[in-house]
Amino acid sequence: RRAAVLAFPFNGGQGREGVELGGMHLVEHGILEQLKEMEWETSFEPNEDIDTFRPSSDPDIEGLKKPRFVSSVTKRVAEQVSTAAKAGDFVVTLGGDHSLAMGTVSGVFEAYPDACLIWIDAHADINTPSTTDSGNMHGCPISFVMGIAGDIPEFAWIKKCLLPERLVYIGLRDVDPAEKKILKDNGIKAFSMHHVDKYGIGKVVEMALDHVNPNRDRPIHLSFDVDALDPSVAPSTGTPVRGGLTFREGHYICEALAETGLLVAADIMEVNPALEDEQAVFQTVQVGCSLTRCCLGETLL
Ligand code: ARG
Ligand code: MN
Ligand code: MN
Ligand code: MN
What pLDDT, in 10s, does the model give residues 111-169?
999 999 999 999 999 999 999 999 999 999 999 999 999 999 999 999 999 999 999 99
H-helix or E-strand spanning residue 256: helix 247-259
The overall average pLDDT reported for the chain is 98
Residue-wise burial string across 219-234, b where 16 or more C-beta atoms lie within 10 A, e elsewhere: bbbbbbbbbbbbbebb
What pLDDT, in 10s, does the model give residues 261-301?
999 999 999 999 999 999 999 999 999 999 999 999 999 99
Query: Alpha-carbon torsion 246, 223, 95, 69, what sign?
Result: negative
Q: What is the mean pLDDT of the segment spanning 3-20?
A: 98
- Close Cβ partners of 260 (under 8 Å, ≥ 6 residues apart): 209, 213, 216, 220
What pLDDT, in 10s, does the model give residues 184-202?
999 999 999 999 999 999 9
293 C-beta closer than 6 A to ligand 1: no
Give dist(CA 250, CA 267) in Å, integer. 13
230 C-beta closer than 6 A to ligand 1: no
The amino acid at residue 238 is G
Question: Which of the four pLDDT bands, split at 50, 70 and 90, describes residue 32?
Answer: very high
pTM: 0.98
127 C-beta closer than 6 A to ligand 1: yes
- Close Cβ partners of 160 (under 8 Å, ≥ 6 residues apart): 145, 146, 147
Atom number of ligand 1 nearest to Cα 175:
1
Q: What DSSP letter does each residue of 36-79 carry, written as one string?
A: HHTT-EEEEE--TTGGGG--S----BTTBSSHHHHHHHHHHHHH
Mutate to test the pocket of ligand 1, among 102, 138, 275 (most ligand atoms within 8 A of CB): 138
- Close Cβ partners of 263 (under 8 Å, ≥ 6 residues apart): 90, 219, 220, 222, 257, 295
Residue 38 C-alpha to ligand 1 middle, in angstroms? 34
132 C-beta closer than 6 A to ligand 1: yes
Is residue 186 helix, strand or coil? Answer: coil
Give dist(CA 199, CA 202) in Å, integer. 8
237 C-beta closer than 6 A to ligand 1: no
**Proximal ligand: closest to the CA of 239:** 1
Q: Please name the residue whose Cα sits nearest to atom 2 of ligand 1.
A: 139
Q: What is the mean pLDDT of the segment spanning 65-76?
A: 98
Task: Report whether 14 contacts 97 (CB < 8 A).
Answer: yes
The amino acid at residue 272 is N
The amino acid at residue 23 is G
- Close Cβ partners of 279 (under 8 Å, ≥ 6 residues apart): none
